[in-house]
Structure 1
Amino acid sequence: MQTSPYALPFERYRELLDQEYAALSDLVQPTLDRPVPACPGWNGEDLVRHTAIVFLQKAETIRTGTRPSHGWPPVSVGSLPPQPLLAHCYTRLVEEFDAHPTSDPAETWVPEDQTVGFWVRRLTHETAIHRVDLEQAAGRSVRPLDPALVIDGIDEVLTVMLGRGRPDPAASGDVARLEAGGHSWDVRLSPQRATVQRDAEVDGRTAVACDPEQLFLWLWGRTAAPGVVPAAATELRSRLARAL
């Protein structure tokens, strides 16, 4: 694969994607009827079917050059049981990943990053989060995430996922500072768009400072807040919840 513009080499994203998919797949049968705490109203089957369709949609986006719309998703996928459906869609996805240079064009919502590599990174994080979802549905302890993927995931949720949200006329304009793993992110909550500054100097602003995995999972709404959270960080979490 080509040189990665992200924190991890593309080869490492693919390794972690396969690992997270295998762990997710092992959790399908025990959680089909179990409620998913982070996704109110969904059980494990709902989450598995959602994840499978995301995989398939991105495979089609890469294969055809544009996001599928009419007649999507295919009616035929609804007839497959959850486990075979997930396996089929994942196979389609990684076939497309491995058939294309990561610099090949692929439609995304980030104007400056319209590449296959965007989806390699994005779906590694997506799969990891949904693995956590099924572990929580099964009542199991969350298996630790790869430390480098966690730091990259904090950055990705702030610089990629937060950007999916709509403008917020009621935004305060304040800055939420987050610190973890020797890195920091200052997120300015402007009405039109939240912007992120990485590793800015400390200026006395109260920060959310905690273990990287706890911060990552809190930003995704998968664990409780790390202690007392400043108002700006609470606003950031609410804005993220509307974007995810």
Structure 2
Amino acid sequence: MTNTDRLAEWLCEQTSAFAAHVRDFAAPVPTCPEWTVRDLVAHIGQEHRWAADIVRTGRPPAVPDPRAQEVPGDWASWLHAGARELIDVVGAGTAPVWTFLGDRPARFWLRRMVHDTAVHHADLAGRAPVIAADLASDAVDEVLGFVTAPGAATVKPALAELRGDGQTLLLRPPDLTPWLITRGPAGPTWRRGDADADADVTVSATARDLLLIATRRLPPDDPHVTISGDRVLLDHWLAHTAL
């Protein structure tokens, strides 16, 4: 798992990249259909501070509404200050804190905010987001960790539909170890696997594009993506893993 210093670097990088793609505050965000760019800016500024409050207190405050958030005129500095606040409080924290998967180390929230910020960067940048392969790889690890975590179906009942009898999906990026997902009777499991594994369906794309597919920011039919095998199995997986 990525260390805290690298996560802090990524959060600063992705917050800057997100801010660089902000143009018209009133413009709609197609991949967040109920939000405008202004709402997305408010959300990023809120969520970093919300996560920092969890680390400080160990418990979750109420989830904020971005539409109710006042966005200051110097919104870019406000975004960077929120990221810095989270980095600092995680660096100072030692006790486990609340997460939706049970108590975890404070760095859980730094990692979660890195990846969410990267995905929202993609919301504004479309095909253009610069998301490094190691960041995207860690984000896919995180998504699969959520989907396969014990008790995850209690939080998201649709995940219970992912039980199976050995069906396999392979996510294969170039130059990185792929992810092999197996749907078993107790639920799905995953591991970093063999690029030549004989899976029921294989999705070949960059780590960035695999992340964007997993988070519904890129359709699997994108010309930069290659799918071989049982497309129905892939569609079922995507239909039941939206987070």
TM-score range, shorter chain: 0.7 to 0.9
C-alpha displacement of 1:21: 0.6
C-alpha displacement of 1:223: 1.4
Q: Are 1:108 and 2:99 an aligned pair?
A: yes
Q: Give, as a single letter, the amino acid of the residue that structure 1 aligns with 2:212.
A: L
Return 154-163 or 217-226, whichever deviates more: 154-163
SS at match of 2:241: helix
- In the alignment, is the contact (CA less than 8 A) between 2:97 and 2:106 conserved in 1? yes
- In the alignment, is the contact (CA less than 8 A) between 2:171 and 2:204 conserved in 1? yes
Which residue number in structure 1 is paired with residue 133 of structure 2?
Answer: 147
C-alpha displacement of 1:55: 1.6
Which residue number in structure 2 is paired with residue 215 of structure 1?
Answer: 210
TM-score norm. by structure 2 comes to 0.79
- In the alignment, is the contact (CA less than 8 A) between 1:167 and 1:193 conserved in 2? no
Which residue number in structure 1 is paired with residue 234 of structure 2?
Answer: 233
Percentage of pairs with the same residue: 24
Which residue number in structure 1 is paired with residue 12 of structure 2?
Answer: 18
Cα distance between partner residues in 2 of 1:36 and 1:82: 20
The structure 2 residue matched to 1:46, chosen from 30, 39, 46, is 39
Instruction: Tell me: CA distance 1:240–1:25, structure 2 relative to 1, closer, same or farther (3 Å).
Output: same
Q: Give, as a single letter, the amino acid of the residue that structure 1 aligns with 2:13.
A: Q
- In the alignment, is the contact (CA less than 8 A) between 1:52 and 1:86 conserved in 2? no
Q: Give, as a single letter, the amino acid of the residue that structure 2 aligns with 1:17.
A: L
Instruction: Tell me: CA distance 1:227–1:106, structure 2 relative to 1, closer, same or farther (3 Å).
Output: same
SS at match of 1:121: helix
Which residue number in structure 2 is paired with residue 66 of structure 1?
Answer: 59
- In the alignment, is the contact (CA less than 8 A) between 2:170 and 2:202 conserved in 1? yes
Return 202-211 or 142-151, whichever deviates more: 202-211
- In the alignment, is the contact (CA less than 8 A) between 1:34 and 1:43 conserved in 2? yes
Cα distance between partner residues in 2 of 1:83 and 1:132: 23
Deviations 1:18-61 (A, max 9, x none): 11111212333x13122212112322112222222222211111
Q: Are 1:224 and 2:219 an aligned pair?
A: yes
The structure 2 residue matched to 1:95, chosen from 66, 80, 85, is 85
TM-score norm. by structure 1 comes to 0.78
Cα distance between partner residues in 2 of 1:96 and 1:73: 16
C-alpha displacement of 1:68: 0.9
Cα distance between partner residues in 1 of 2:163 and 2:69: 47
- In the alignment, is the contact (CA less than 8 A) between 1:49 and 1:86 conserved in 2? no
- In the alignment, is the contact (CA less than 8 A) between 2:168 and 2:181 conserved in 1? yes
Which residue number in structure 2 is paired with residue 186 of structure 1?
Answer: 180
SS at match of 1:40: strand
Q: Are 1:130 and 2:120 an aligned pair?
A: yes
- In the alignment, is the contact (CA less than 8 A) between 2:98 and 2:104 conserved in 1? yes
Instruction: Tell me: CA distance 1:109–1:208, structure 2 relative to 1, closer, same or farther (3 Å).
Output: same
SS at match of 1:178: strand
C-alpha displacement of 1:159: 1.2
Cα distance between partner residues in 1 of 2:46 and 2:37: 14
C-alpha displacement of 1:93: 4.8
SS at match of 1:80: coil
C-alpha displacement of 1:14: 0.9
Q: Which has the larger strand fraction?
A: 2
* RMSD, aligned α-carbons: 3.0
Cα distance between partner residues in 1 of 2:160 and 2:96: 34
SS at match of 1:63: helix
- In the alignment, is the contact (CA less than 8 A) between 1:13 and 1:124 conserved in 2? yes
Q: Give, as a single letter, the amino acid of the residue that structure 2 aligns with 1:232.
A: L
Unaligned runs of 5+ in 2: none
- In the alignment, is the contact (CA less than 8 A) between 2:94 and 2:106 conserved in 1? yes
C-alpha displacement of 1:127: 0.9
